[in-house]
Each structure stands twice: as C-alpha cells, then as structure tokens.
Amino acid sequence: MSIVTADDVAFVRFTAPELETMRHFLLDFGMLDVPSAAGGLFMRGYGQSPFVHATAEGPPSFAGFGIRLNCLDDLHRLSQAEGAPVEALDAPGGGYRVKLTDPDGFTVEAVAGQAAAAPIAPSRHVVWNQGGQYPRTSEVRRVEQGPSHVLRLGHVVLGVSNFRQSEAWYKHRFGFVTSDEIQPAPNVAIGAFMRCDRGDLPCDHHTLFLLQMQGGPSFMHSAFEVADFDDLMAGHEHLKAKSRIAAWGVGRHYLGSQIFDYWRDPWGHEIEHWTDGDKLYARDGGGIASVEQLMGVQWGMKMPPPPEPAP
C-alpha cells in the first residue's frame, strides 16, 4: 500500500543564468507566459495547469519536479508519513506542497490545492479526413504556421543510480504502477515506465520513467503533449526555422506509442513534444520489455543509443 496515489506530474523546475533566453526558447517551443509575483520565470501550456515549467536564476541545472495529488487530505497524509511540513506553494495557482528528496537527491514537490487555469483552445483545425470517414467537406486544410501548442506536462525521465531503490521510493509514496519494466536479461531490471494509478480512469502509459545509469543520477528529459500530429510538425518546422537544437525525431515510439520530437533548451536539457500516446487503466497491469524495444521506433528516426546502464 502506498501512502497516497498521485494524479499526474505537475511541473518541472530549472535554474538558468539568463531567464529571457529560456523564455524565448519556451515561447518557440509552444508555451505561454504566466505573470507572477513569485519571482523567476513561469510558463504554462494551453491546458488547465497554472504552470508547467519554472526557471529560477542560477547556474544551468535541473532543479526538480512536481507531482500532483488528488486532494489536500492526501498532502497532509504524506506530510505526516514523511515528517515534512506542508508549505504554501509560492507560484501561479497557489496551493500547497510537501517538499521531498528522492534517493538520488532529486527534489520532488508533492502539490495539491492549486487553482486551475482557464484552458485556451488551440487555434489549429483538428478534424481529420481518414479511415474512410470524411467529416471535413467544402473546407480546405491549411496548417497554421508557428510554435506547437503545448497542452500539458506528460512525463519526466530520470537517470538513477539504483533502479530498484528509486522504484520502491516512488511507488511507496505515490502509488505508481509499472507499465513496462526494462530487462536486458531475464530477471535483470534496469528501469521501468511507470504511470499513475487512477483506478477506473485512464492514464498515460508513463508519467515517470526511471533508468539506471552507469554515470550516476541525471535528468534525462521532460515531455509535453501537443495538440495533434499537424501541431507537432508545425512546431518542428518553427523550431528549425529559429535554429533551435534538435535532439531526435520525428518518429513513433514502440513503448508508449507516442509520436515524438526531441529538442534541447539553450543549456542542453532535453525536452520533448509528443502526441497520440497510449492510455491505460490500472487494471491493464504491466509487462516486460527489452532494451531493443525501449530504443525502438515503429517508424521514423531511430533513437540514438543512451549511455550504458549500470550493472
């Protein structure tokens, strides 16, 4: 039994020496400004999260991420179990947090009580003529040029020093469910795609991915859902035109099935656009996957090999 069950990831935090440089990149990536009296840079998507990306001034670094809980009662339950105080969240949307540190020193903020932002409908057309169905008639399709429309943060990927230790830490506190465990050999696990346990409600194939890395703990990437495939490709062309640094893509993952497109922020942190990922119920359980499936694509650009995992 876990202490609480998480609902989703909420935001990622970074530090950077030039906030305006980060802001302009994130605008090109498809996020929107969020005015805040809290200091630093806050950016939102087109969905209901009050912010999805925060940057404070400092040396370039990943500074942690937020996990959204279902209610304040859950936050107080976690606080009591961990002996960590409930604090006001000084950020857009307000709310409260319990600040924890995972086994590798990553900062994890459990949050609840944030005020939802008003969603903004993307302006691009989303009606498709396909599969023998043709709902778009007497109307031509013209994809609007410009940045993608980031809807929300979908998942965070961390390199860890001891997979089983980190897996147990996150599952015990937040109730994550394994979708696919990565085994390079039978009964040898080096990582797992994990999703939130939402019971009878579906969840993304993965909310958190942990991979044991030979070089020790590291931030690997954060991933943001965009409106649809056209939106992802329009954003790809926009980022290319702005001379942003591509990492890999476009393609469709094997595990999770997302259509993906990876880029790097001005300080080299990897950040992903994705769309059309798998949705699973808690009852769907999980499976075992190989390293080849982890790195494989169903179509598109093959993913470059990651650093060798630790034994």
What are the pLDDT tens digits along the chain (311 aa)? Answer: 899 999 999 999 999 999 999 999 999 999 999 988 889 999 999 999 999 999 999 999 999 999 999 999 999 999 999 999 999 999 999 999 999 999 999 999 999 999 999 999 887 667 899 999 999 999 998 898 999 999 999 999 999 999 999 999 999 999 999 999 999 999 999 999 999 999 999 999 999 999 999 888 999 999 999 999 999 999 999 999 999 999 999 999 999 999 999 999 999 999 999 999 999 999 999 999 999 999 999 999 997 665 454 44
Give 300's DSSP letter: E
Residues linked to residue 157 through DSSP beta bridges, in sequence order: 209, 221
pLDDT of residue 121: 86
Q: Which two tokens stand for residue 67?
A: 């996990």
DSSP of 213-252: -TT--EEEEEEEEES-HHHHHHHHHHHHHTT-EEEEEEEE
Between CA 88 and CA 95, with CA 93 as vertex, the angle to 5 degrees is: 30
pLDDT of residue 216: 87
The superfamily (CATH) of domain 6-115+149-300 is 2,3-Dihydroxybiphenyl 1,2-Dioxygenase, domain 1 (3.10.180.10)
Phi, psi values for residue 120, rounded to 5°: -115, 125
Helix (H) or strand (E) run with residue 308 in it: none
pLDDT of residue 307: 47
pLDDT of residue 124: 67
pLDDT of residue 311: 43
Between CA 168 and CA 173, with CA 172 as vertex, the angle to 5 degrees is: 120
Of 251, 232, 246, nearest in space to 295 by CA:
251
pLDDT of residue 125: 66
pLDDT of residue 305: 62
